[in-house]
């Protein structure tokens, strides 16, 4: 016990404190855990993100970055139904682009601009989206003829997660209350009121979402 107490005490001593004779004289000091600049930067980033989320009441409160690095006000989609998907170019689920493009065109043919899909490229799952924003755009268009908007690359989990995704996960946790995005091509459906209407796993094919999308479109837009 005495040895443990000595180790604990020594951990909180300042070994550089000297007496007038130059002999070390240990004393407790409390600022040993002062945050480094990198920690301070992290704390600032986290605090800003928390403030952003705390004030958010709907999908329309966010401004994610587009393929050119410019903020996109999601308020431009107010009153519309939006399908949000985290995408990747080298994933086993990448062929879902074909299904996403199909429902995008089919539903827009009947409902016009009342519906859209937003793709969010992410490289967090197996490094399956390694390319630049320009390369991602080119891949989607050349291989799957994608015409719905593909945003700029961002994280969906972790300290640097896109604030929109932090809000989506909080509003609609997954199975057993899990908030983390598990893999590429998870889907969130946003209703006309800007609230999350549903969340589906990567294994859910885009075609299976046509019914819930149409159900949301059948609801009146808020006044």
Catalytic (active-site) positions: 91
Evaluate whether 72 touches 64 at the Cβ level (below 8 Å): yes
Strand ranges for 38-186 from DSSP E: 81-87, 115-121
> What's the angle, vertex CA 203, arms to CA 202 and CA 208, rounded to 5?
105
Joined together, the tokens standing for residue 11 give 């951990």
Cα distance between residue 189 and residue 206, in whole Å: 11
- Side-chain half-sphere CA neighbours of 76 within 13 A: 9
Joined together, the tokens standing for residue 45 give 């980033």
3-state secondary structure of 161: strand
- Side-chain half-sphere CA neighbours of 115 within 13 A: 25
């Amino acid at each position: 016990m005495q040895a443990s107490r000595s180790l604990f005490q020594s951990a909180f001593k300042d070994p550089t404190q000297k007496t007038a004779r130059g002999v070390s004289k240990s004393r407790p000091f409390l600022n040993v855990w002062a945050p480094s600049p990198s920690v301070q930067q992290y704390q600032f980033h986290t605090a800003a993100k928390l403030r952003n989320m705390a004030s958010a009441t709907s999908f329309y409160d966010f401004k994610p970055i587009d393929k050119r690095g410019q903020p996109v006000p999601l308020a431009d989609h107010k009153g519309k139904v939006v399908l949000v998907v985290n995408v990747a170019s080298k994933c086993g689920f990448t062929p879902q682009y074909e299904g996403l493009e199909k429902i995008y065109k089919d539903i827009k043919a009947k409902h016009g601009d009342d519906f859209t899909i937003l793709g969010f490229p992410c490289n967090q799952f197996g490094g399956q989206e390694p390319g630049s924003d320009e390369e991602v755009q080119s891949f989607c268009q050349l291989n799957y003829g994608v015409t719905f908007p593909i945003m700029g690359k961002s994280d969906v989990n972790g300290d640097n997660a896109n604030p929109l995704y932090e809000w989506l996960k909080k509003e609609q946790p997954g199975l057993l209350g899990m908030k983390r995005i598990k893999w590429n091509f998870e889907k969130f459906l946003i209703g006309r009121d800007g609230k999350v209407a549903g969340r589906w796993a990567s294994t859910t094919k885009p075609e299976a979402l046509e019914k819930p999308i149409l159900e949301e479109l059948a609801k009146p837009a808020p006044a």
